């Protein structure tokens, strides 16, 4: 390994405790020594353990899988746990994702937002058929189609696309790329028996696919590299078609 | 005092908890799920490689069925598992996977015709049948006779959890997020819910319920390096333990996964080896065939982890500043395969190691991964000693895994145990057994007790730093209660952990005094609880003078069925005691369908119980006679160890299987 002296990172964090009436949003800078392979997960835990144990942030899997730790790193929404400090300069700024309810410091209430979205868009398989017969063989599905559905199913609801979305800044009721991608996913799935007209009811409006201004910040920041641009375009065509019927 | 009433309180919003919630909802009962994080962020999402279910759709799964899955599971458990539970489980796994397919999991499918695969470092062609095209496919995993692990690329847990949570949305399951259960409400051996703390506002809430289910996963984070999510701290087991009434089973049974990346301990799935990946040493030499000529890299997890450690001890590890490691080589699988079927692994390698696994070898070493032990329950998921308390998934020990879990059996267990326990709970709720009589004063007593504990932590001065105690505990567990164990180290571990526990009574929350969201306060009370969990594990390991599955004692290398075919039961009846109470529960050979035998790894050092031979002869004779009479496998199984009557009626049906009865 290299014998170079480790860097001293200056990590500036936007801090605010909404439960403390005397507190106000302010930046606080912590200096820590960089270690080999250090991620922001490691760095933030070091700050909490050795500098300020009241620092609030959200990590769960710390492996880039669960989507908990999205935040603004140098102004850009991303997953903190898999961000190596080596890829950043010595001065790092961290702030909570905008638009979501703030719990404190870098901790945000994405769960509430996403739950509302899922309930609103009814992101589950709609099948009015009789009860499932689980003793029988499963229904067949074309292997390529299963792969395609999984591709869209890989969304981790981290909220980066929401934070990167220009439309939501002006129109908070917009469902965002996360919502539209979910609809694209169910639309693709033959197990979901909803018709195009039913989908139109859900997203054929300004809060849905016609609200998107096509700035596509969502696609730039998606940590799972989901094909958001092409799916939004596809849905828009489908919904225009549905509206003409 | 804020009180919320519900029929079923479910603590934990991962796969197991959500499956219980939807199950009781469908039977018409109310459910509230308490969860530390949004359910979709639960550790279930991290399960990569797959779910075992004997569908037998793919070519390499031909001939698979419940019997083979059962036998693999029992062998894997080193005969520690409850065989009735294992039967119930293997019977229901195909139903659970088909249910999940119906709810939207896009399982990877069989594709007709030829495909290339890597088996034992050689490229082979596998030809899938036309008729199987489009059914759920499976990959190979360690310790299994057939390719049985069904998967969605390597995001299996993610796709299952999303489908399950979406189903919970559809069923309008109430989810209370960022709520942490601190203690169980109970009286006269009956559980009535839990006191919970809102992690955002700090408010304490009493949840009063007829049935309470703990589905909080494992306790891997008592170790300093673990593949587990950071919330897997054993808080569910601690809830049960601190009730003083409920018991824990086999807490010393800890699994180490062979291939977590170095140094951060993030998992790379067993699917890497299942799909043909190899383990190499510092010379690029493939060493596993030397140790396990038969199963090689695909021996059971405990075996591979031990062999890797042995090989490193011989000086064959790759030196690094984080200690020695070995290599996992999946380059042989080719870029296309990796980018399709191992894409999470690829992302992890890119993001955390800066390497491309299609070109570079992955630095790996065995790392804490799974808790076989947990809240001891009956096959119904109900605590053996605290009525109305249920547990399932990794949090529980109903005891499917014994002393070693097979890869692919954990996510499978979450949904199977969830669907079964939901039925047993519903039966309980529909009987007069579930009638409640607890005074609100008693509920208040439990709430006040928790409030007082929090006040103490916040008001303490000149006390201990929780981080210091916790880091020391993690180190002790890692160094002295690890893959290979011995009496001397374990004794030291128990003594020092007991000392840490005593000190933890004096923890002070420095600086951060907020009663609302306060990570320092959370760390303080969790550290106290984790120390108790660590003690159950270390003491159980110290007392168990044999080697069984993942519990490997260098000073007692034999599996000793004569003296140790039994479960370790720990409890904490008096909150002032500083060591857990330990007792044992016999595992009865005379009721086994599959009497103890040799697992087939290394030399057979087993000290058999005298009754084993008698039972084996009996089983063989019944089998021979019935086979001669032309009886089918179901009839023979039923004669050996009936279990179907224990299953809820709706799950008793025979599974349709491609190539068997379809």
B621 contact partners, CB below 8 Å, separation of at least 6 = none
C-alpha atoms less than 13 angstroms from C-alpha of B480 in its C-beta half-sphere:
24
Residue of B311, B214, B301 lying closest to B257 (CA atoms): B301
pLDDT in tens, A214-226: 999 999 999 999 9
Tokens of B428: 């309980």
Q: Is A130 on the interface with B (CB under 8 A)?
A: no
**Taking a C-beta distance cutoff of 8 angstroms, is the pair B209, B66 a contact?**
no
Q: What is the DSSP string of B35-64?
A: ESS-GGGSGGGG--S-EE-----SGGGTT-
pLDDT in tens, A96-134: 999 999 999 999 999 999 999 999 999 999 997 767 899
Overall fold of domain A122-244:
Fumarate Reductase Iron-sulfur Protein; Chain B, domain 2 (1.10.1060)
Q: Report the phi/psi class of residue B659: left, alpha or beta, with left for phi > 0 and alpha for psi in -120 to 50.
A: left
Average pLDDT, chain A: 95
What per-residue confidence (pLDDT) applies to A244?
87
**Taking a C-beta distance cutoff of 8 angstroms, is the pair B147, B61 a contact?**
yes
Residue of B561, B547, B577 lying closest to B487 (CA atoms): B547
Q: Is A60 on the interface with B (CB under 8 A)?
A: yes
Element (H, E) at B3: strand B2-11
Examine the residue annotation and report whether B273 is marked as an active-site residue of this protein: yes
Interface of A with B in 197-236 (CB under 8 A): none
Kindly state the greatest CA–CA separation across chain B. Answer: 78
Residues of chain B contacting A78 with CB distance shorter than 8 Å? none
Q: Which of B110, B201, B351, B467 to mutate to test the interface with A (most CBs of A within 10 A)?
A: B351
Q: 10-residue block means of pLDDT along chain B (662 residues)?
A: 97 98 97 98 95 97 98 97 98 98 97 95 96 97 95 96 97 97 98 98 98 98 97 98 98 97 93 96 97 95 96 96 94 95 94 95 97 98 98 98 97 98 98 95 98 96 96 97 98 98 96 94 98 98 98 97 98 97 97 96 92 97 97 97 97 95 86
Domain A8-108 belongs in CATH node 3.10.20.30: yes
A195 contact partners, CB below 8 Å, separation of at least 6 = none
Q: How far is CA B206 from the centre of its chain?
A: 29
A37 contact partners, CB below 8 Å, separation of at least 6 = A84, A86, B263, B264, B352, B353
Write down the ipTM of this complex.
0.97
State whether A17 and B516 contact (CB < 8 Å): yes
* Residue A135 DSSP class: T
Using DSSP's 3-state secondary structure scheme, residue B293 falls into: coil
Sign of CA dihedral A57, A61, A63, A68: negative
* Residue B507 DSSP class: B
Residue of A159, A169, A65, A64 lying closest to A113 (CA atoms): A159
Residue A3 — very low, low, confident or very high, per pLDDT cuts 50/70/90? low
What per-residue confidence (pLDDT) applies to B327?
98
**Taking a C-beta distance cutoff of 8 angstroms, is the pair B381, B424 a contact?**
yes
pLDDT in tens, A18-73: 999 999 999 999 999 999 889 999 999 999 999 999 999 999 999 999 999 999 99
What per-residue confidence (pLDDT) applies to A137?
96
Task: Kindly list the distances between the CA atom of residue A202 and the CA atoms of A93, A228, B356, in Å, as whole numbers in the listed order.
Answer: 38, 18, 41
State whether B352 and A19 contact (CB < 8 Å): no
**Taking a C-beta distance cutoff of 8 angstroms, is the pair B213, B51 a contact?**
no
Least Cα separation, residue B420 to chain A (angstroms):
14
d(C-alpha A228, C-alpha A209), whole Å? 12
Task: Return residue ranges of chain A for CATH 3.10.20.30.
Answer: 8-108
What per-residue confidence (pLDDT) applies to A130?
65
**Taking a C-beta distance cutoff of 8 angstroms, is the pair B554, B83 a contact?**
no
Tokens of A111: 């769960």
**Taking a C-beta distance cutoff of 8 angstroms, is the pair A233, A216 a contact?**
no
Least Cα separation, residue A135 to chain B (angstroms):
5
In the block, which residue shows the tokens 């019944």?
B622
Using DSSP's 3-state secondary structure scheme, residue B174 falls into: strand
Q: Taking the model in full, what pTM does it have?
A: 0.97
Residue A1 — very low, low, confident or very high, per pLDDT cuts 50/70/90? very low
Task: Return residue ranges of chain A for CATH 1.10.1060.10.
Answer: 122-244
What per-residue confidence (pLDDT) applies to A2?
52
Tokens of A243: 């509206």
Least Cα separation, residue B133 to chain A (angstroms):
7
Q: Is A192 on the interface with B (CB under 8 A)?
A: yes
What per-residue confidence (pLDDT) applies to A36?
87
A-B Cβ pairs (cutoff 8 Å, strict)? 212
d(C-alpha B390, C-alpha B410), whole Å? 18
E strand spans, B19-141: 31-35, 51-52, 113-119, 122-128
Residues of chain B contacting A194 with CB distance shorter than 8 Å? none
**Taking a C-beta distance cutoff of 8 angstroms, is the pair B183, B212 a contact?**
no
d(C-alpha B508, C-alpha B305), whole Å? 39
**Angle of CA points B421, B423, B427, to nearest 5°:** 115
What per-residue confidence (pLDDT) applies to B237?
98
Q: Which phi and psi (to 5°) does residue A103 adopt?
A: -90, -35
What per-residue confidence (pLDDT) applies to A4?
77
- Rounded to a whole number of angstroms, the CA Rg of chain B reads 24
First to last CA, chain A: 66
* Predicted confidence (pLDDT) at residue A196 exceeds the cutoff of 60: yes
pLDDT in tens, B468-477: 999 999 999 9
Task: Kindly list the distances between the CA atom of residue B350 and the CA atoms of B241, B323, B346, B353, in Å, as whole numbers in the listed order.
Answer: 41, 21, 6, 6
Instruction: Kindly give the pairing relationship between strand B484-485 and strand B552-553.
Output: parallel
Q: Is A48 on the interface with B (CB under 8 A)?
A: yes
């Amino acid at each position: 390994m290299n014998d170079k002296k480790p860097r001293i990172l200056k990590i500036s964090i936007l801090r605010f405790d909404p439960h403390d009436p005397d507190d106000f949003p302010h930046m606080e800078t912590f200096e820590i020594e960089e270690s080999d392979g250090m991620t922001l997960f490691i760095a933030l835990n070091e700050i909490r353990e050795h500098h300020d144990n009241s620092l609030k942030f959200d990590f769960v899997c710390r492996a880039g899988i669960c989507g908990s730790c999205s935040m603004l790193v140098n102004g850009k929404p991303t997953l903190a746990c898999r961000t190596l400090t080596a890829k950043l300069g010595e001065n790092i700024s961290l702030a909570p994702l905008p638009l979501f309810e703030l719990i404190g410091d870098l901790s945000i209430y994405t769960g509430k937002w996403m739950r509302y979205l899922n309930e609103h868009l009814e992101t589950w398989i709609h099948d009015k058929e009789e009860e499932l017969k689980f003793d029988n063989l499963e229904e067949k599905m074309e292997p390529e189609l299963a792969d395609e559905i999984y591709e869209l199913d890989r969304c981790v609801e981290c909220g980066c696309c929401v934070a990167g979305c220009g439309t939501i800044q002006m129109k908070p009721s917009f469902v965002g790329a996360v919502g539209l991608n979910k609809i694209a996913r169910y639309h693709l799935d033959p197990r979901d028996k909803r018709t195009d007209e039913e989908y139109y009811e859900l997203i054929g409006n300004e809060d849905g696919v016609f609200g998107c201004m096509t700035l596509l910040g969502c696609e730039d920041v998606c940590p799972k590299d989901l094909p958001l641009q092409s799916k939004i375009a596809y849905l828009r065509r489908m919904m225009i078609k549905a509206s003409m019927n | 005092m804020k009180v919320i009433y519900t029929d079923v309180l479910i603590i934990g919003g991962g796969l197991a908890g959500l499956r219980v919630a939807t199950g009781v909802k469908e039977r018409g009962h109310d459910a509230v799920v308490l969860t530390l994080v949004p359910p979709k962020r639960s550790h279930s999402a991290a399960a990569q490689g797959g779910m075992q279910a004997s569908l037998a759709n793919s070519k390499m799964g031909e001939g698979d069925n419940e019997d083979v899955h059962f036998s693999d599971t029992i062998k894997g458990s080193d005969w520690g598992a409850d065989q009735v539970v294992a039967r119930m489980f293997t019977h229901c796994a195909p139903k659970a996977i088909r249910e999940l397919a119906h709810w939207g999991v896009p399982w990877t499918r069989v594709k007709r015709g030829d495909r290339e695969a890597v088996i034992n470092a050689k490229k082979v062609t596998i030809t899938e049948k036309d008729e199987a095209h489009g059914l759920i496919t499976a990959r190979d995993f360690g310790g299994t006779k057939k390719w049985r692990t069904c998967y969605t690329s390597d995001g299996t847990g993610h796709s299952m959890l999303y489908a399950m949570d979406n189903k919970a949305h559809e069923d309008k399951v109430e989810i209370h997020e960022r709520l942490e259960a601190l203690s169980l409400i109970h009286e006269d051996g009956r559980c009535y819910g839990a006191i919970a703390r809102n992690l955002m506002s700090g408010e304490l809430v009493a949840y009063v319920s007829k049935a309470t289910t703990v589905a909080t996963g494992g306790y891997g984070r008592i170790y300093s390096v673990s593949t587990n999510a950071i919330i897997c701290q054993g808080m569910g087991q601690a809830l049960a333990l601190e009730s003083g009434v409920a018991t824990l089973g086999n807490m010393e049974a800890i699994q180490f996964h062979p291939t977590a990346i170095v140094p951060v301990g993030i998992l790379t799935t067993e699917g890497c080896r299942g799909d043909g990946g190899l383990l190499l040493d510092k010379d690029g030499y493939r060493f596993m065939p030397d140790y396990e000529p038969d199963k090689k890299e695909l021996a059971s997890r405990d075996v591979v982890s031990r062999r890797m450690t042995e090989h490193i001890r011989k000086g064959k590890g790759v030196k690094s500043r984080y200690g020695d490691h070995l290599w996992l080589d999946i380059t042989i699988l080719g870029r296309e395969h990796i980018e399709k079927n191992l894409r999470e692994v690829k992302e992890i390698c890119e993001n955390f190691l800066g390497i491309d696994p299609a070109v570079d070898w992955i630095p790996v070493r065995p790392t804490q991964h799974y808790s076989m032990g947990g809240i001891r329950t009956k096959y119904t998921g109900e605590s053996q000693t605290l009525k109305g308390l249920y547990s399932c998934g990794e949090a529980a020990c109903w005891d499917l895994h014994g002393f070693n879990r097979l890869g692919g059996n954990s996510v499978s267990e979450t949904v199977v145990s969830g669907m079964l326990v939901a039925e047993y709970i519903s039966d309980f709720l529909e009987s007069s057994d579930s009638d409640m009589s607890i005074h609100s004063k008693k509920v208040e007593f439990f709430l006040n007790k928790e409030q007082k504990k929090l006040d103490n932590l916040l008001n303490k001065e000149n006390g201990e730093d929780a981080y210091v105690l916790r880091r020391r505990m993690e180190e002790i567990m890692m160094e002295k209660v690890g893959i290979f164990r011995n009496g001397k180290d374990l004794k030291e571990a128990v003594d020092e952990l007991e000392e840490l526990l005593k000190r933890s009574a004096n923890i002070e929350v420095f600086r951060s005094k907020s009663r609302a969201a306060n990570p320092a306060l959370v760390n303080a009370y969790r550290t106290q609880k984790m120390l108790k969990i660590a003690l159950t594990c270390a003491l159980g390991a110290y007392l168990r003078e044999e080697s069984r599955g993942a519990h490997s004692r260098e000073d007692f290398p034999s599996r000793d069925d004569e003296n140790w075919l039994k479960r370790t039961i720990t409890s904490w009846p008096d909150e002032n005691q500083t060591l857990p109470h330990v007792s044992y529960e016999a595992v009865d050979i005379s009721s086994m369908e599959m009497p103890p035998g040799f697992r087939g790894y290394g030399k057979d050092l087993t000290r058999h119980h005298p009754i084993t031979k008698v039972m084996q002869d009996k089983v063989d004779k019944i089998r021979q006679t019935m086979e001669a009479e032309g009886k089918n496998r179901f009839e023979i199984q039923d004669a050996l160890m009936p279990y179907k009557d224990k299953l809820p009626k709706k799950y008793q049906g025979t599974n349709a299987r491609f190539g068997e009865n379809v």
